[in-house]
């Protein structure tokens, strides 16, 4: 059954993943086990294949949809278990002025696949909304995305807002998007830069270790 769930994730097969997850739950497998041992390894494979250009955007988006379907089924069961390990929360969004979301969505999919709780604020997100969401959800990490050279400069204001907030100043901030790089990351005082969606997961894991 492990292979069936993983295959459904890798193939982005929403229909079969619904059946496979229900079967595992019926067999008494804990939701947390399904997540940790079946779904997350499947998404790890997706991330690796995408990085190696063996999977492409359409396939990754479909895997993301399958993953979301599975999590929606598991969510009530996960909430029932008080002993479950608390996952790190990441707030993600495309910065103000920028309506591009594919890069941000890929990072969201990869983060979900790595087991993070992801709060997606969407596109054109102002600084205040990032702060509000980080505070409300006790997020350890905030990911900022921008596709344009004009909008990447809005990242600086967001980083400064976090650094000036006594409660949120230690929030880890990761940036990504076509025009940004590690020099820019350093210049605005962000904690990390990732050039690719799978790289974002690795970078966050490095930052929190």
Kindly list the residues in this chain that would bind other proteins in the complex (CB under 8 A). Answer: 12, 53, 56-59, 61-62, 65, 96-100, 102, 105, 124, 148-151, 178-179, 195-196
Min CB(199)–other proteins separation in Å:
10
Q: Residue 143 forms beta bridges with which residues? A: 92, 174
- Copy the structure tokens of residue 22: 């229900």
Contact 115, 74 (CB under 8 A): no
Least distance CB 102 / other proteins (angstroms): 6
At its nearest, how many Å lie between other proteins and the CB of residue 203? 16
- The token pair that represents 73 in the structure block: 């089924």
Closest approach, Cβ 90 to other proteins, in A, equals 21
Q: Residue 3 CA to chain centroid, in angstroms?
A: 23
Which is closer to other proteins, CB of 26 or CB of 183? 183
Nearest to 139 by CA among 129, 124, 147: 129
Of the two residues 119 and 148, which places its CB atom closer to other proteins in the complex?
Answer: 148
Shortest gap between Cβ of 121 and other proteins (angstroms)?
A: 14
CB nearer to other proteins: pick between 99 and 208: 99
Q: How far is the CB of 24 from other proteins (least distance, A)?
A: 25
Distance between CA atoms of residues 12 and 24, nearest Å: 18
Do the beta carbons of residue 191 and residue 173 sit within 8 Å? yes
Enumerate the β-bridge partners of residue 95.
125
Nearer to other proteins, 16 or 196 (CB): 196
Nearer to other proteins, 48 or 170 (CB): 48
Taking the least distance from each CB to other proteins, the nearer of 77 and 100 is 100
Cα separation of 196 and 46, whole Å? Answer: 14
Q: Please tell me the distance from the alpha carbon of residue 20 to that of residue 1, in angstroms, as a whole number.
A: 7
Q: How far apart are CA 180 and CA 195, in angstroms?
A: 8
């Amino acid at each position: 059954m492990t292979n069936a769930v993983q295959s459904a994730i890798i193939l982005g097969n929403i229909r079969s993943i619904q059946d496979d997850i229900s079967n595992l739950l019926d067999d008494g497998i804990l939701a947390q086990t399904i997540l940790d041992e079946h779904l997350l390894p499947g998404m790890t494979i997706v991330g690796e294949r995408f990085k190696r250009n063996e999977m492409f955007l359409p396939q990754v988006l479909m895997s993301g949809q399958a993953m979301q379907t599975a999590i929606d089924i598991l969510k009530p069961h996960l909430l029932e278990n008080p002993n479950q390990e608390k996952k790190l929360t990441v707030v993600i969004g495309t910065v103000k002025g920028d309506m591009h979301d594919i890069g941000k969505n890929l990072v969201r999919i990869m983060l979900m696949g790595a087991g993070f709780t992801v709060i997606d604020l969407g596109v054109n997100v102002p600084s205040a909304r990032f702060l509000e969401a980080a505070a409300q959800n006790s997020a350890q990490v905030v990911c900022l995305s921008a596709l344009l050279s004009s909008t990447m400069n809005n990242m600086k204001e967001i980083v400064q807002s976090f650094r000036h907030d006594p409660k949120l100043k230690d929030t880890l901030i990761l940036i990504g998007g076509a025009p940004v790089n590690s020099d820019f990351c350093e210049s605005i005082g962000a904690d990390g830069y990732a050039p690719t969606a799978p790289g974002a997961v690795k970078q966050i894991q490095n930052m929190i270790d």
